[in-house]
Each structure stands twice: as C-alpha cells, then as structure tokens.
Amino acid sequence: MFINYGQALQNALDQAMEQDPNVIAMGIGVDDHKAIFGSTMGLVQKYGAKRVFDTPLAEAAMTGVAIGAALGGLKPVHIHIRVDFLYLALDQLLNLAAKWHYMFGMQGHLPFVVRAVIGRSWGQGAQHSQSLQSFFMHVPGIKLVMPTTPYDAKGLLLAAIADPNPVVMIEHRLLYYIEDEVPEKPFTMKLGPAVIRRHGKDVTIVANSYMVVEALTAAKFLEEQKIDVEIVDPVCLAPLDAETILTSVQKTGRLLVVDTSWVCCGASSEIAALVAEKAHDALHAPIRRLGTQPVSCPVSKPLEEEFYPNAHNIVEVVYSMLGKKWENQKIPSLTTPFKGPF
C-alpha cells in the first residue's frame, strides 16, 4: 500500500495491538482528533480507552508508569508529540529503564517503546525542535531508532514493540509527509543494521532521519556534476551498525556525517570517532560533520534557515572534500509541504 509515514506508524501500532492484547498506547493527545499527526488515528475507537489513553502532563511519572506496567506484563508504547518533552523523562529513562536489566543481574524485563517527534520549521523555536539522540546513545541500555521512510516507520515500530528492551524511537515531523510503498502485512526490521540509501564511490555520507532527504537531494545534484556519493542511513543509532559505515568508508575514503542535531558530543561525533579509530588508513580527506548551528533554534525564518544544515551545505562540503572548486551554482532547494500551526 502507498501510505505516508504517519499512516505507516498507525498501521504498525494497529497491527501490534491486534496481535498482542498486552500492547497499550499512552501519551498526551494519543486519543484526540489529531491523533499525533494521524499516527494513532482510530485506535481508541478500535481498542478502547483502557488500551489507548491520554495522560496527565507528567512526562517523568508517566515514563515510570510505562516501566512499571512493562514489569507487570504490558507492552506500553508511550508517545510524545515533541522530543523536547523527553528531558522531563530522562531520570526515568536513563536512571531506571536503561539500567534495569543490567543492574538487576539480567532479571526484569522492560518491553516498552517511547515514540517522540522532532519538530522543525514553521517557527517551532528552541523548545519544540530538538533531537536528543545523543543522550540515548551515550547511556548504555536503551535502543535508539530513527526511521526515515514509511517502510522504516512500520518495520522499526513493529520491531521495537517486539523487542524485550526499552526502545526510543525518534521520528521527524517533516518526514510525516513522505509517501512510500509499505507492505500490508506485519513485518519487522532488525534493530541494528544500517540502510544504504544510495550506492556511490566518491564520498560516504552518513545521514539520519530528515537529513537523508537533504542528502538525497544533494546526491542528485552531485550526480549531474559527475560526483557519486554513497548515503548510509544508520536507522538504528544504538546499537550502531559500525560495520556498514566502515565498509563504505573503506570503499570511498571520505566521510561526511550529517545529523539532525548539534555536532558537539552528538551522534556525528561518535560516528566520526568510530571511523577515525577504525578506518583511518582508508581516509583520503579529513572527516567532516554537519549539524545544526551551536545555538538554540530561532524562530525568525531567515535565522531558522541558517540554523539547519541542508542540501546546499552538503554539496559545498562534498566539493571541498574532493578538492574541487565550488562555483556556487544554484542548487534546487527542497520544498517541504509543512505549514503551521503545528
């Protein structure tokens, strides 16, 4: 079926709930008419208020509630409409959930999923636009996935729900508009392997989430200039598929990492360090990184555009990595259909 990202998430959750009566969906707004951008649409009508429910605005305790429920045999999917709200839940996620299985000598069983959406564009501002993947990569014990396509959204969400460990899934608001062919039947992707979005020989671009879209746009332009980039989408950042990244860099000799977040101590730092440590001899040029600028996200449109990395920036960096002179050609910019209010 040809569906968008939000519909794919809805379809996955629906199928998981149909298969397993212990799967529940909770979170602020999951049962309202907007249904988290459609990703929980119709579920409360189908499964009832005991399995699909709105929560008080209490991210910390509600995360603990999900943990306690998981220890009692349920499989909660706790949904946050913005990733930024997870700061309120970090004590529960990182002090408890991440440590539970290890700290208690492999006893206890925490099958729960946290879904959270990165906001971007239309003036989301400093507190509605952040991507916190590096927090979950840093602390051992949480799996972290970032689906890019509707296919990933379904395959990774079903895998996350089936996984016996806490899994955080970071989605992207702009990806909700992407449509794709998605199998109708339930299927799972493995939590780990990266996806090669484009094969190429000149430069490896490791990009995640919405940055894959920008990287693909850049790749198309570069192709016309006879530059052939390979795009590796980790999809799962914890555990990270080091092998696919290293194999790609061994082939191309060049690495650019493009992350949806800040570069300082970010996912891009970890991937750069991995390649510097394990594939240094293969490198023909210094590793480069692109991420959001080291400031809080501003609202004003020209500032916001400057804040985010885009296809144009990617092309510029690829040129410099190849030692080519940049003539500042016009790069067709991406137009996204996203328009407010939320």
Partner 1 sequence: MQTMVDLQTISELYKIMLKIRLTEEKVAEIYPSDKIQSPIHLSIGQEAVAAGVCMALGPENKIFSTYRSHGIFVAKGGDLRLMFAELYGKETGCAGGKGGSMHLLAPEVGFLGSSAIVASTIPLATGNALASDYQDRKWVSTAFFGDGALGEGVFYESLNFAILKNLPVLYICENNGLAVHSRVEDRHHNSDLYRYGERLGVTGSRHDGDDVLTVYTVTKNAIKDILLGGPPILLEFTTCRWSEHVGPGTDHDEMYRDQDKVSQALANDPINRIQKVLQTQFEITDGQLSTWRNNIVDEINQAVIFAEESSFPSPEDLYQGVFMKQDI
- Pull the structure tokens for residue 27: 């979170």
Provide CB contacts within 8 A for 313, sequence distance 6+: 290
185 contacts partner 1 (rule: CB under 8 A): no
Minimum CB distance to partner 1, residue 137 (Å):
13
Residue 18 among the catalytic residues: no
> Residue 145 is which amino acid?
V
What is the number of other CB atoms lying within 10 angstroms of the CB of residue 294? Answer: 9
Choices 53-61, 287-295, 297-305, 332-340 (CB under 8 A): range interacting with partner 1: 53-61
Per-residue CA distances from 300 to 61, 124, 306, 313 (Å): 35, 10, 10, 20
109 contacts partner 1 (rule: CB under 8 A): yes
163 contacts partner 1 (rule: CB under 8 A): yes
107 contacts partner 1 (rule: CB under 8 A): yes
Instruction: Name which of 142 and 317 has its Cβ closer to partner 1.
Output: 142
Minimum CB distance to partner 1, residue 159 (Å):
9
The helix-helix angle for 210-224 and 311-321 (nearest 10°) equals: 50
Interface pattern 75-94 for partner 1 (x via CB under 8 A): -x--------------xx--
Interface pattern 130-159 for partner 1 (x via CB under 8 A): ----------xx-x----------------
Instruction: Name which of 162 and 287 has its Cβ closer to partner 1.
Output: 162
- Pull the structure tokens for residue 28: 């602020």
Residue 243 among the catalytic residues: no
Q: Tokens 């009566």 correspond to what residue?
A: 21
175 contacts partner 1 (rule: CB under 8 A): no
Instruction: Name which of 50 and 226 has its Cβ closer to partner 1.
Output: 50
Calpha distance 123→11 (Å, rounded) = 30
Choices 4-12, 63-71, 280-288, 323-331 (CB under 8 A): range interacting with partner 1: 63-71
Minimum CB distance to partner 1, residue 13 (Å):
17
342 contacts partner 1 (rule: CB under 8 A): no
Q: Nearest to residue 117, comparing CAs of 106, 109, 128, 125?
A: 128
102 contacts partner 1 (rule: CB under 8 A): yes
Residue 81 near residue 29 (C-beta atoms within 8 A): yes
Binding residue for partner 1 (CB under 8 A) from 162, 189, 246, 318? 162
Calpha distance 88→86 (Å, rounded) = 5
Q: Nearest to residue 328, comparing CAs of 340, 320, 336?
A: 320
Minimum CB distance to partner 1, residue 95 (Å):
5
101 contacts partner 1 (rule: CB under 8 A): yes
104 contacts partner 1 (rule: CB under 8 A): yes
69 contacts partner 1 (rule: CB under 8 A): yes
Binding residue for partner 1 (CB under 8 A) from 43, 67, 160, 213? 67
Q: Which residues bind partner 1 (CB under 8 A)?
A: 22, 24, 50, 55-56, 58, 60-74, 76, 91-92, 95-96, 100-110, 140-141, 143, 162-165
**Catalytic residues, which ones?**
59, 128
